Structures are given as C-alpha cells and as structure tokens.
Amino acid sequence: MTHTATLVASEQEARALVDRIGEDAILYERSVDLSEIDPDHWQVLVYFEEAPGAAERKALATAAAGIIGTKAAFAIAALPDQNWVARSLEGLKPVRAGRFLVHGRHDRARVRENDIAIEVEAGEAFGTGHHGTTAACLIAIDRVLRSRPVRNALDLGTGTGVLAIAITRAAKAPVVASDIDAVATRIAEENARLNGVAGLVHAVTAPGLSKSVFADAGPFDLIVANILAGPLVMLAPAIRRHLAPGGTVILSGLLVSQRARIVAAYRAQGLRLAGGIEREGWLTLTFRRAS
Ligand SMILES: C[S@@+](CC[C@H](N)C(=O)[O-])C[C@H]1O[C@@H](n2cnc3c(N)ncnc32)[C@H](O)[C@@H]1O
C-alpha cells in the first residue's frame, strides 16, 4: 500500500528540503510533491510504494533536522487510494450520494425525477463523485442542507466544482469555489455553466484563504474542504475566521488515523464535532460553530 511522508514548513525550508531529498543517497528516487497551503505554509510530500523502512525513516528525519531543526518530523501515513486523478478520469457509472446523482454526459438518461443531478466532466481535475471523500462530502452536505438554511458557502479545493455545484443546486445559494490549481478553477467554471449555475458559483484560484475575496464574500454558513489533513490543520484558524456564527464545516481527505489530530485542531478553534462518515478508508468530519 502506498505511504506518504508529509511535513509543513516555510517556503524556503520546504524548497531546501525537496533539494536535500533529491540529493539523498536513500531517498533520491522517491517522487516528491511541493505544494503551497498558504503563503506561509508549504507542504513537502514524499511517496513510498510500501511503508518506509528504518533506513528511509532515518534519512527523512536527518533531512528534516538538517534543514529545519530536530523538532521537525515527517508524518508518515498509509494512503488508501493514492491515484485520485486517474480514478476521476475513469468513465465510471453515475454515483448516488444523498439526494445527489453525479453523472457524466453519457448518463443523462439515468437521472430520476427527484434526483439533484450534477453533470461533471472531470478533465484534469479531481471530483467525479467516485472517490470516497467526494461521495461522503455530498452525503454530509445533504445532511446539513436538510437541517439548516445555508445562505452562502465556500468550497475550498473545488477540483471539478462538484461540491460547489451540489450546494448551489440544493440550497440555491452562492458558493465561492476556490482551488490552488488554475486548471481546476477553469474546469469548475465550465462545469458550473454546464449545470446552469454559473451565476451562483464564483471560481477563484488561490492557495488557502489568504486572498481578500474570501473576506469580501464571507463569512460563510457552510465551508467544505476536501484537501488533506496537513493543510487542513494549518488552515484551521483561517477556516474558523471565515465561518459565520452557527456555521458548519465539512472536512475530508482525512485518514481514519488522523481523526484525533483534526478534532484537536478544530476544537482549539472553538468548533464542536457534529458528525463523521467513514468511507473506503477515508474520514469526513463535520464541525459546527456555536450561534
Ligand atoms: C481531493 S481534491 C477535492 C476536489 C473536490 N472538492 C471533491 O471533493 O471531489 C482536492 C483539491 O484541493 C486543491 N487544493 C489542495 N490544496 C489546496 C490549498 N491549500 N488551497 C486551495 N486548494 C487546494 C487541489 O488542487 C484539488 O483540486
């Protein structure tokens, strides 16, 4: 099973760490991702086909200590299904999640009368509904919208825009759909048009929540973020800042083993854990802010 080692640092440290890994006698063949969570936090992610052994763990620790200091440590986790984009691109059957039916163009005829249908062309972005995290977010969104009104929402890490479109279709409310990746925001815009909700989905390319557009459009009654645990811990204070009193946060992209870390980070922001869904080894958590 694929494993990842992740560490969040400043941009300068993260870039130096990637260079160091590329030069390391044990780690140099590993694939490494460097991504911006927000301008102050960058994530280094190293992939391993199997659980890293003692020599690899030691090499990671030495690299981190050499660049950042001995307190810096990579978090190592098993990835239930690492091939997200490839799975999104498969021509799969429609997916039912709560009241939503996510389908491709070829399955328009399968939409039933009471379905809230979302047609998605994935292209190079993540989010056709087939991944456990997307389906669980759709179920969690459905539950929230059945229990309380949502007047405006944020879909952080929108990918194809599937969650943003689901919210606009079900709540008839505007949604800011943001992604760090400009290709994803373009695809989200196209999908919003395809689903007749372009006027309600505002796609924004941005890492995290640092751009002023979030403060201008917020605070939000509902924030959905299907990213990964590391960035979601870093973004907890910003997410709380942009959440309206009484608002709900749905977090996904989490491993079951990361539950305690996420719950602690969001409780520290004064949010209450209101629910959880486990699907295909992934965890989706719902938090609520007091009114
Ligand atoms: C797992 S996909 C989720 C896509 C879709 N929301 C879904 O649920 O299917 C995560 C998306 O978050 C984006 N992303 C990752 N880190 C981000 C960050 N710090 N700020 C904004 N977007 C980010 C990625 O580019 C990717 O499109």
pLDDT at 37: 78
Q: What atom of ligand 1 comes closest to residue 35's alpha carbon?
A: 16
**165 within 8 A of 201, measured Cβ to Cβ:** yes
Distance from Cα 154 to the centre of ligand 1, integer Å = 12
pLDDT at 39: 81
- As given in the structure block, the two tokens for residue 67 are 């660049």
17: DSSP letter:
H
Q: Whose CA is nearest to atom 4 of ligand 1?
A: 159
Q: Where are the beta strands (DSSP E) in the chain?
A: 3-9, 32-38, 41-48, 75-78, 95-97, 100-103, 116-119, 153-156, 175-179, 201-205, 220-226, 243-255, 272-279, 282-288
pLDDT at 122: 59
Distance from Cα 183 to the centre of ligand 1, integer Å = 12
pLDDT at 127: 67
When the pLDDT of each residue in the chain is averaged and rounded to a whole number, the result is: 88
Residues 6+ away with beta carbon under 8 Å from 74:
5, 6, 7, 46, 60, 61, 64
* pLDDT band with cut points at 50, 70 and 90 for residue 162: very high
Percent of the chain with pLDDT over 70: 93
pLDDT at 228: 86
Ligand 1 neighbourhood includes 179 CB (under 6 angstroms): yes
pLDDT at 210: 87
Distance from Cα 159 to the centre of ligand 1, integer Å = 6
Ligand 1 neighbourhood includes 126 CB (under 6 angstroms): yes
pLDDT at 86: 44
Average pLDDT over residues 158-173: 95
pLDDT at 171: 95
- As given in the structure block, the two tokens for residue 54 are 């003692």
Q: What is the pTM of this model?
A: 0.77
More confident residue, 155 or 111: 155
Average pLDDT over residues 246-269: 94
**127 within 8 A of 88, measured Cβ to Cβ:** yes
Average pLDDT over residues 42-48: 86
Least confident among 33-47, 119-133, 173-187, 257-271: 119-133
| pLDDT (tens digit per residue) in 85-125 | 444 444 557 888 889 989 888 788 888 888 899 998 756 66
User: Right CATH number for 3-78 from 1.10.10, 3.30.1480, 3.40.30, 3.30.70?
Assistant: 3.30.70
Domain with CATH 3.40.50.150 in the chain: 131-288
Q: Does residue 82 have a pLDDT over 50?
A: no
More confident residue, 1 or 183: 183
Domain with CATH 3.30.70 in the chain: 3-78
CATH H-level superfamily of 131-288: Vaccinia Virus protein VP39 (3.40.50.150)
